[in-house]
Structure 1
Amino acid sequence: FKFGKFSITPGLRVENAWQDIRETVNRNVNNAGAVTGLNPLESIDDRSTVVLGGLGAEFELPASSSIYGNISQSYRPRIFSESVPTGPTTFVNGDLEEGKSIEYEIGVRGRPTEWATFDASVFLLQFEDQIGTVAVPGGTSLQNVGDAEHKGIDLSLSLDLLAIARGKKATDSLDWFVNATFLDAEFTRGPQLGKTPQYAPDFIVRSGFTFTHGDKGKVSLTGTLVDDHFADDANTANFAVPGYFTCDLTAEYKIHQNVRLLAGINNLFDESYYSRVRGDGIDPANGRNYYVGASFEF
């Protein structure tokens, strides 16, 4: 709905989640990979239907800018790894409930010139019955660890350096971009009160350059900096994830009206790091790797 410079967009969605699990074998394997026994088999039939709402509003400002705000509900059903133990030291709480959340956001965005775009917003995300891990004798327990609050700032900026140098926009462009999220996350209720939820670093920054040659192709170099954080909600030392920095190089070229060739190098500088920790140890990230492909549009 639009009223002059002001617009409002309500939203409503229905989510249906079905999960049917029938285990035929569940082996207990130690860290050396040897089978030490059999775990009880699971038989789970989960069905849920939820109605979620959302509301967005925007007010147009001069210089092709606007103020916007959003309120939205989310629902997170438990996934397979949260329904059935996937490791010898992982236990699943029998009364695990689905997580729910509501997010508030307000910000300003715009394109003040043909060579610059920006977006800045603040957000508040409130989780209820968040699913997480709690240390127990002999391993970790997957359970509802309470309520959590995530609040922070999202920033993004893009500048066309060639347009700035030329004084006008052209067919080719060299864009410098930066996207940053600064986060303060904390449990506000439950057994992990005052601790930081898992995989919630204080900041994530992505920046790089994209050279675009008309509509024929483009090359992008992107660096990602992630602050140190924890892979469990108890913030134990064994589940600490050190901060890391990686770069990716991607390219695409249009060889036909509907066909593009794609190629890329992930982890360009072969950084050794890990971004996940399981109950039986770290999950190392891939080293330098390459890919090629094609994109077809019909």
Structure 2
Amino acid sequence: MDTVTVLNGSTQASGKLRQVEGVAIYAGKKTEVINLANINANTATNNARQIYGRIVGLNIWEYDGGGLQLGIGGRGLNPSRVSNFNTRQNGYDISADALGYPESYYVPPTEALERIEIVRGAAGLQYGTQFGGLVNFQLKKGAPDKKYEVVSRQTAGSWGFFNTFNSVGGTVKKLNYYTFYQYKRGDNWRPNSHYDQHAAYLHLDYPLTSKLKITGEYSFMHYLAQQPGGLTDADFENDPSVSVRTRNWFKVNWNLINLSLDYTFNNHTKINMRNYALVAGRDALGILNYINRPDPGGERDMMSDDYKNIGSEIRLLHQYTMFKKQTSTFLIGTRLYKGLTKRFQGDADAGSGPKFEFEGIEPDGSGYDFPGNNFSVFSENIFQINDKWSITPGARFEYISTKADGYYYQQMRFVPNVKRFEKKENNRSFVFFGIGSSYKLLNGVEFYANISQNYRSVNFNDIRILNDNARVDSSLKDERGYTADLGVRGKIKDWLYYDMTAFYLKYKNRIGSVFTRDVDFMVYRLRKNVADSRNIGFESLIEADLLKAITYGRSPYKLSVYTNFSIIDARYYNSADASIQDKQVEFVPPVLFRTGISFGKKAYNFTWQYSYVGQQYSDATNAEFTPSAVDGLIPSYNVMDISVSYKWKWATIFGSINNVTNTKYFTRRADGYPGPGIIPSDKRGYFVTVQFKL
């Protein structure tokens, strides 16, 4: 599997990927790595603010105290369920439907992760055309030198939180195995918010010969969560702990299978084949009407999705010499993907419990099949000009076919609703290009630059949805554009790591949300091609072990400090609508600042983290306030966290205080589930974990 270069070994939390990792090329690209073993954070709740604190330019949605879902967006992209990244686990897709609905309802437990790898927009040539790039969750493997290693972690915390994570792994003869089971439950700090989650995983890999290795993996996740709904601005200011929805529920089932083959021809050539399948679903049940109106009672709205996807990706990597015997690297790959989403919406059970059943013979809102097919070929080549300078051009051919086949009921005022049948097909193909370059000076300093074309298709939510708070322009078009980076990174000896980047992201026909009123003066969020947009910014990460610098590595203690800072100016332009021209792009905080200090030895550690996020808007008109609370200002906020740990032989105890100052804030205004309206973030919470490792 892939390996990572992280600043002199094992103590640094952040780092970067090497030029070549396994069967992938990262030369000249902006890459980031989080090494989970070196982070003192609340991993039981998947606290994204702490875990991703060293990743620059991330806007994080914090609305899920149990860590059931992840919402991150980079460089001004929408954080909704990581939908603007190509999201993978161990190198294969985990999202609901990579073609038409690239949202990730499944996130592997942080306690099971070895590291998290992030590659920015230039990753589009190898991993798909998303503007955000790649997020890859690399799970742990069994210990290579033990027949078994057992880890058991038990966590208790505020609001009835309990989490148990238990894993066993090792190597028996040639077979490496790793498996875990996790269960968590909690009530969160607002009423009507109980959740239960089960997750499990099995990894087996076996070298059939000295050249051929086979790997099989299975991931399972199920959770049921009651959702307390959103709030109006007035309700949030008065008391953010209240809930005005008692009948909203959300359920997710996830089954993910992967079979990989690795074959090494010789020291210069190897091939990898990944075959994966997803059988999954999610159901949302509740009241979606305006949050400034009470629950009307009666039947609830239900949205039900089933996902059945299969994919195969083959990569061949070959290294050769040229330019005075410099080692260059050639990569070529192909991907086949077939997805099918079945989506239904309509009236369901009128009770208050999690009864996910439609009323009547068929859903009375809509019912669709969304099949999709994708074929792509991609290639990159590192031309190593000399021992300092490399140039990496690349290209990707993409064929995408998305279809919609189903019905919807057109709502009528004075007569019964009319059933309409709808059938659409959208086939397109294109070639994208990119190029990157890296120049390494003495003392570990590296300059890098890249530019790559990107593309994002209209997704299934943009085709048909029934929601009073959100509507879709029927003439929606796909988005195109490009991303460019110019940066410098490196290390000073073995005590300081830095990465500073200027970036430019160009969108054509950007899909965004516009605050709108209908003929009855009811407000809603209209999703449309708003205008062209551009995001320009600067981001930097500096992480240093100060005691190592002062004592020249002789101190048994560690005092690590990091700062993560970014500024982004994201604007709409080329718009015929004066209410949008030159307005800020939604979900883009102009300033993001995160910093932290860790002090300790091998046996204990104390960590303090601070996060500041500037104010942002939820729609393209930059509306400050709406009665429905679906659109409006998201004020700036700052949050502090404290984590401690102590290790004694085979036992370790962890403690954390999240949101130490009990800041009242929110990061999201939702037009549907888990809202609609303002979704308050968690107040101060306390958590304790006891771990045994044998």
Give me the TM-score of the superposition, normalised by structure 1. Answer: 0.80
Q: Structure 2 residue aligned with 1:173, among 542, 545, 558?
A: 558
Q: Does 1:243 align with 2:633?
A: no
Task: Identify the match of residue 274 of structure 1 among 663, 666, 675.
Answer: 666
Aligned residue identity for 1:193: Q
* 2:548 partner SS: helix
Match of 2:585 among 192, 197, 200: 197
Please give the alpha-carbon distance, in whole angstroms, between the structure 2 residues aligned to 1:202 and 1:94.
31
The alpha carbon displacement at 1:44 in A equals: 5.1
Amino acid at match of 1:269: T
CA deviation vs aligned residue, 1:44-64 (integer Å, no higher than 9, x gap)? 515263646654321111222
In structure 1, stretches of 5+ residues that fail to align are none
Q: Report the counterpart of residue 65 of structure 1 in structure 2.
A: 445
- Give the secondary structure class of the aligned counterpart of 2:547: helix
TM-aligned CA distance change 1:23 to 1:115, over 3 Å: closer
- Structure 2: state its 5+ residue gaps: 1-18, 21-26, 30-121, 131-277, 300-346, 348-363, 377-397, 399-431, 626-631
Q: 1:184 aligns with which of 569, 581, 585?
A: 569
Q: Secondary structure of the equivalent of 1:59?
A: strand
* Distance of aligned partners of 1:224 and 1:203 in 2 relative to their CA distance in 1, 3 Å threshold: same
SS class of match (1:94) = coil
Q: Encode CA deviations 1:219-251: one digit per residue, 9 max, x unaligned.
A: 321101111111111101111111110012234
Matched, 1:162 2:526: no
Where does residue 417 of structure 2 map in the other structure? none
Out of 246-255 and 143-152, give the one that drifted further. 246-255
> What amino acid is the match of 1:34?
P
Aligned to 2:679: 283
1:227 matches 2:610 = no
Corresponding residue SS for 1:270: coil
1:253 Cα deviation (Å)?
Answer: 5.3
Residue identity opposite 1:242 in structure 2 = P
Number of residue pairs aligned between Structure 1 and Structure 2: 292
Rg larger in structure: 2
* Structure 1 residue 42 displacement after superposition: 4.8
Alignment CA distance shift 1:169-1:109 (3 Å): farther
After TM superposition, list the pairs within 5 Å mapping 1:141-156 onto structure 2. Answer: 141-156=526-541
Displacement of 1:277 after TM fit? Answer: 1.7
Deviations 1:179-207 (A, max 9, x none): 10011110123342211111111110001
CA distance in 2, matches of 1:13, 1:295: 39
Kept in 1, the 8 Å contact 2:370–2:460? The answer is: no
Q: What residue is the counterpart of 2:479 in the other structure?
A: 99
Richer in strand (by share): 1
Could you tell me whether the CA contact under 8 Å between 2:447 and 2:487 is conserved in 1?
A: yes
Query: Given that residues 129 and 454 in structure 2 are in contact (C-alpha distance below 8 angstroms), is that contact kept between their aligned partners in structure 1?
Result: no
Alpha-carbon distance in structure 2 between the residues aligned to 1:163 and 1:53:
43
The CA RMSD measured in Å over matched residues stands at 3.8
Match of 1:34 in 2: 296
The CA distance in 2 between the partners of 1:251 and 1:54, in whole Å, is 44
Counterpart contact for 2:290–2:469, Cα < 8 Å:
no
The equivalent residue for 1:207 is 595
Q: What does residue 125 of structure 1 align with?
A: 505
- Contact 1:93–1:141 (8 Å) recurs in 2: yes
Structure 1 position 105, deviation (Å): 0.5
Query: Mean Cα displacement is larger for which, 7-16 or 201-210?
Result: 7-16
Q: Given that residues 82 and 92 in structure 1 are in contact (C-alpha distance below 8 angstroms), is that contact kept between their aligned partners in structure 2?
A: yes
Q: Percent identity?
A: 21
Contact persistence 1:26–1:40 (CA under 8 A): no
- SS of equivalent to 2:589: coil
Query: 1:69 Cα deviation (Å)?
Result: 1.4
Q: Residue type of the partner of 1:206?
A: R
Q: 1:16 to 1:100 in 2, by over 3 A?
A: closer
| 2: CA distance, partners of 1:281 / 1:261 | 38
2:491 aligned with 1:116: no
Please state how far the C-alpha of 1:292 moved relative to its aligned partner. 4.6
Change (3 A) 1:198 1:35: farther
